[in-house]
Amino acid sequence: MRTADIRSRFLDYFAARGHTVVPSAPLPTPDPTLLFVNAGMVPFKPYLTGEAAPPWPRATSVQKCVRTLDIEEVGRTTRHGSFFQMNGNFSFGDYFKEEAVSFAWELSTSSVEEGGYGLDPERIWATVHHSDDEAALLWRRVAGLPEERIVRRGDEDNFWSMGVPGPCGPCSELYYDRGPALGRAGGPAVDEDRYMEFWNLVFMQYERGEGAGKSGYPILGELPRRNIDTGMGLERMATLLQGVDNLYEIDETRPVLDRAAELTGVRYGADHLADVRLRVVADHVRTALMLLADGTAPGNEGRGYVLRRILRRAVRSVRLLGHQDPALPELLPAARDCMRHSYPEVAEEFGRISQQAYAEEDAFRSTLRQGTTVLDTAVAEVKAAGGHLLPGPKAFLLHDTYGFPVDLTLEMAEEQGVEVDREGFTALMAEQRERARADARARKSGGALDTSALRTVLAAHGPTDWRAYDTLTTDSRVLALLGPGGPLKAVRSGEIATVVLDRTPFYAESGGQDSDAGTLTGASVEAEVLDVQRPLPGLVVHRVRVTAGELAAGDAVRAAVDPEWRLGARQAHSGTHVLHAALRQVLGPTALQAGSYNRPGYLRLDFPWRGGLGPAARGEVEEAANRALRRDLPVDVRWMSLPEAKELGALALFGETYGERVRVVEIGGAWSRELCGGTHVERAAQVGVVALTAESSVGAGMRRLEAAVGFEGFRYLARERDLVSRLAEQVQAPRAHLPERVAGLLERLKAADQQAEELRRRAAVARAGELAAAATDVHGTLVVTATTDGDARSLALAVRDRLPRERPGVTAVGATADGGKAVLTIALNRAAAETGLSAAGLVKSLLSGRGGGTAEVAQGGGVPAESLRATLDGLTGLLAGE
């Protein structure tokens, strides 16, 4: 049974039993504690925790998930994959244990003809929490499982919570016995390779208190409404039903593995290490495909860094298998063809996806070349100093700065007869991981905002009455005041706090649009609104500074948005839509927005594209946008269901999460049709003008356009006009001839620079001869020390080359650099190097370990300018053995 069929069979089963089918949320999640959705319940978290009212009593989904904590284990075990799909059925206060157990058993064991998966009931085991007699009884009564195949386990295995105060409860897992060829008998407590877990049922019935770990926290009591959260691993079920050994060999990954084996000439199953690398390729290429499809772009931090690391691990694994040419153009289409049956968007968006992936591989191949040069230099330094161990900091620099995998560093160093200081490297990696964990802990704690207090406010008062689409002012009441330490009774003049109102006209930052600015005024208070956010579903909070009087909980206030600010924000957001449509009109449909930000007067838009846009393309995009404004296209806003919006052709932008009802914004009908929650003008001409101000790279395969909008657009154009006028006046040329006149001036300046450089070179050559003639003999070695206002390295080399070749010669030249510091260059001729002297060693001796280079040329910095002469004089003493 194909994985896509297993998926559809699951959804059909639960839809027929009253569950609403909910589409998978995008992998990037708005949850501040997560980078990606990592479990099937994540999109339903607000309903399970009571933060929001569920729109349905029961639901089912197949949720895309990414987990990277165990990325090093990918390929080494049969249980770890960075991308996986979780089939789930959920009950929000509707059914509970008996129905959940019945559903899982019936779907798992019913025949294929009856719509089930046809698993042999005699090979299924269940685990339950040791205290959950009810679940054990249900497995005996509903499923007919004998007592010996119902295993009771502790909190670590069979009790679920989110790690913070809130819902929790026992869970029950289903395992399938894959036979004696895969391990020992005795059930899942003995061998979890032979007995593969395929379904986990969480019975969410208690509320837990504070406490660390998976046990030891208090149970505060029963939840007022009990929930069901189950997860059936789609890849694991495919492994069972397709009769393969592991999840890397199912129909959605094996073709990628086979293509990698064909490219590298490696036979899968012949060598353990090669098999691990092939499985890494199969997993990571599929993961990258799905992340790119959901709008994640390779980058240096956050989600982008995770994707970059996954892509580079895949490329590196192919390289280690012996394939040196670009691999992704061969592998990514194979992954696309595997996944298109379940996710048609990977085929529809493949032009954009492949463009970003291939650009990232090209960049990494360049990185490998740079890293190889750095590594070769480091190895040469180690050998020149008589060592055999590459320092840990150097290996970490290669890994962290150049993206050079440590496995590759180990391999290439070994080829050159040098080992790597693994302990030093590991220590630095541990420090980096601890910084990452600290950052994750900061995200999870919500930073300075007390999210537990916000949940209390939401539970007590319900969602904010949000009026941003309807009005600029509301009469509101202060429900809560919060500071970093929790609730506040009052806030006085000059103080800043988070304010929760019962209703608000303020737009909360989302969808790339900055939050509104404005004021809160009351009988005895005036305050300015600094920021507006939506930290919990349905709850809007305001960051305010009290400018006069005192603000207290319960106060009645007038909330007012600055109308000029809102107008500018509407112009910028509509301008973003217009620029996006113009970009796609000029460059084609693959130029799809991958990120945006807009505030009054300014917008930026990121999109996948290989290579910069030339002046002609930029001009064409700008003209297409402003032609749309001149035509004064109508701007219409409509609400509809998500399927209706997709049928209409509305663009759903990456990284955004949409509900059942969506807001479609059209500019000129089909010319620009996007799902959007932002504020907009009524007609396109109200945007005024879109003036492109910059175009740049923001990562491999990703470009950024920036523009000034509205009055700021006109001001920008006026400044450009004035600048051109001043330049034309200064160079005494008509504005139309300004480019030619400036080009001519630049050519003359370049010629003058070349002439000056030639004069400096001749002077240096002449001085080099004088310095070489005045060399001092130190125990048979000719020594020259000098200072220069120019290039120390060039002068040192010139002097060295004029010393007699048959005698050892050492030249040291210092030059003052920026900031009052000096740099020192030492050059040795071959005769000096053959005596055992090392330029790198001399520099480090004179500069207390700073600097580096080769045995013949080395350089160091950080010398105070006033100490430069004394440092140079120290060379003579060093060579004399003093």
Domain boundary among 687, 715, 743: 715
**Pair 544, 527: CB distance under 8 Å:** yes
Q: What is the mean pLDDT of residues 776-792?
A: 88
Return the pLDDT at 433: 65
In the beta sheet, which residues pair with residue 560? 473, 519
- CA–CA distance, 366 with 359 (Å, rounded to integer): 11
In the beta sheet, which residues pair with residue 508? none
Residues 262, 145: one domain?
A: no
For residue 608, the domain's CATH number is 3.30.980.10
Instruction: Mention every residue, 6+ apart, whose C-beta is less than 8 A from residue 673.
Output: 648, 649, 650, 651, 664, 665, 666
Residue 722 domain-assigned? no
Give 416's pLDDT tier (boundaries 50, 70, 90).
confident
Residues 242, 260: one domain?
A: no
Q: What is the mean pLDDT of residues 76-80?
A: 69
- CA–CA distance, 827 with 846 (Å, rounded to integer): 14
Residues 287, 162: one domain?
A: no
The CA-based diameter of the chain, rounded to the nearest angstrom, is 103
- Main-chain dihedrals φ then ψ at residue 424, nearest 5 degrees: -65, -40
Which H/E stretch holds residue 499? Answer: strand 496-501
- CA–CA distance, 396 with 393 (Å, rounded to integer): 5
Q: Which domain holds residue 772?
A: 758-879
Domain boundary among 247, 269, 299: 247
Residues 455, 363: one domain?
A: no
Residues 203, 56: one domain?
A: yes
For residue 523, the domain's CATH number is 2.40.30.130
In the beta sheet, which residues pair with residue 476? 557
- CA–CA distance, 355 with 591 (Å, rounded to integer): 10
For residue 797, the domain's CATH number is 3.10.310.40
Return the pLDDT at 78: 65
Please state, for a pLDDT cut of 90, what percent of the chain lies above it.
52
Q: In the numeric block, which tokens belong to residue 744? A: 């001519």
- CA–CA distance, 482 with 497 (Å, rounded to integer): 6
Domain boundary among 394, 418, 444: 444
Distances (CA, A) of 387 to 412, 841, 878: 16, 13, 22
**Pair 355, 273: CB distance under 8 Å:** no
Residues 73, 184: one domain?
A: yes
**Amino acid identity for residue 496 in this structure:** I
Return the pLDDT at 387: 80
- CA–CA distance, 335 with 310 (Å, rounded to integer): 15
Residue 741 domain-assigned? no
- CA–CA distance, 852 with 850 (Å, rounded to integer): 7
- CA–CA distance, 340 with 347 (Å, rounded to integer): 6
Give the pTM: 0.65
pLDDT over threshold 80, residue 684? yes
pLDDT over threshold 60, residue 657? no
> What sign results for the dihedral spanned by CA atoms 17, 20, 26, 28?
negative
**Pair 347, 382: CB distance under 8 Å:** no
pLDDT over threshold 80, residue 498? yes
**Amino acid identity for residue 841 in this structure:** G
**Amino acid identity for residue 625 in this structure:** A
Residues 607, 541: one domain?
A: no
Q: Which residues of 556-569 are buried (b: 16+ CB within 10 A; e: fewer)?
A: ebebbbbeebbbbb
**Residue 80, marked binder:** no
**Residue 577, marked binder:** yes
For residue 74, the domain's CATH number is 3.30.930.10
Return the pLDDT at 656: 55
Which H/E stretch holds residue 563? Answer: helix 563-587
pLDDT digits 0-9 by tens, 435-480: 655 554 444 433 445 577 888 888 889 899 999 999 999 999 999 9
Residues 669, 764: one domain?
A: no
> Of residues 496 and 646, which shows the higher confidence score?
496
Three-state SS string over 142-192 comes to CCCCCHHHEEEECHHHHEEECCCCEEEEEEEEEEEECCHHHCCCCCCCCCC
**792 CB neighbour count, 10 Å cutoff:** 24
pLDDT over threshold 80, residue 71? no
pLDDT digits 0-9 by tens, 114-161: 999 999 999 999 999 999 999 999 999 999 999 999 999 998 889 998
**Residue 680, marked binder:** yes
- CA–CA distance, 90 with 621 (Å, rounded to integer): 47
Q: In the numeric block, which tokens belong to residue 711? A: 């009055």
Q: What is the mean pLDDT of residues 297-305?
A: 80
The C-alpha angle with vertex 673 and arms to 669 and 676, in degrees rounded to 5, equals: 135
pLDDT over threshold 70, residue 571? yes
Return the pLDDT at 66: 92
Give 877's pLDDT tier (boundaries 50, 70, 90).
confident
Q: What is the mean pLDDT of residues 294-319?
A: 85
β-pairing, 465-466 vs 503-504, is parallel
Residue 557 domain-assigned? no
Residues 212, 321: one domain?
A: no
pLDDT digits 0-9 by tens, 666-677: 999 999 999 999
Number of domains in the chain: 5
- CA–CA distance, 95 with 60 (Å, rounded to integer): 13
pLDDT over threshold 80, residue 844? yes
pLDDT digits 0-9 by tens, 208-246: 887 776 777 888 888 888 999 999 999 999 999 999 988
Instruction: Mention every residue, 6+ apart, whose C-beta is less than 8 A from residue 393.
Output: 424, 428
The C-alpha angle with vertex 135 and arms to 132 and 138, in degrees rounded to 5, equals: 150
- Main-chain dihedrals φ then ψ at residue 439, nearest 5 degrees: -65, -40
**43 CB neighbour count, 10 Å cutoff:** 22
Q: What is the overall mean pLDDT for the chain?
A: 88
Alpha helices in 296-421 (DSSP H): 302-320, 328-339, 345-348, 350-384, 392-400, 406-415
Residue 234 domain-assigned? yes
Instruction: Mention every residue, 6+ apart, whose C-beta is less than 8 A from residue 620.
Output: 586
Strands across the sheet containing 635-641? 635-641, 661-667, 672-675
Residue 122 domain-assigned? yes
**Sequential DSSP letters for 621-636:** HHHHHHHHHHTT-BEE
Rg (CA), the chain: 34
Q: How far apart are the first and last CA of the chain?
A: 82
Residues 543, 588: one domain?
A: no
Q: In the numeric block, which tokens belong to residue 142? A: 């509903």
> Of residues 555 and 878, which shows the higher confidence score?
555
The packing angle between helices 97-109 and 133-141, to 10°, is: 40
Residue 464 domain-assigned? yes
Return the pLDDT at 730: 86
**Pair 346, 338: CB distance under 8 Å:** no
- 8-state DSSP, 28: B
Give 309's pLDDT tier (boundaries 50, 70, 90).
confident
Q: What is the mean pLDDT of residues 649-658?
A: 66
> What sign results for the dihedral spanned by CA atoms 235, 240, 241, 243?
positive
Residues 506, 466: one domain?
A: yes
**Residue 341, marked binder:** no
Residue 752 domain-assigned? no
Residue 733 domain-assigned? no
Residues 532, 420: one domain?
A: no
- CA–CA distance, 76 with 82 (Å, rounded to integer): 12
**737 CB neighbour count, 10 Å cutoff:** 11
**Amino acid identity for residue 530 in this structure:** L
Q: What is the mean pLDDT of residues 867-876?
A: 87
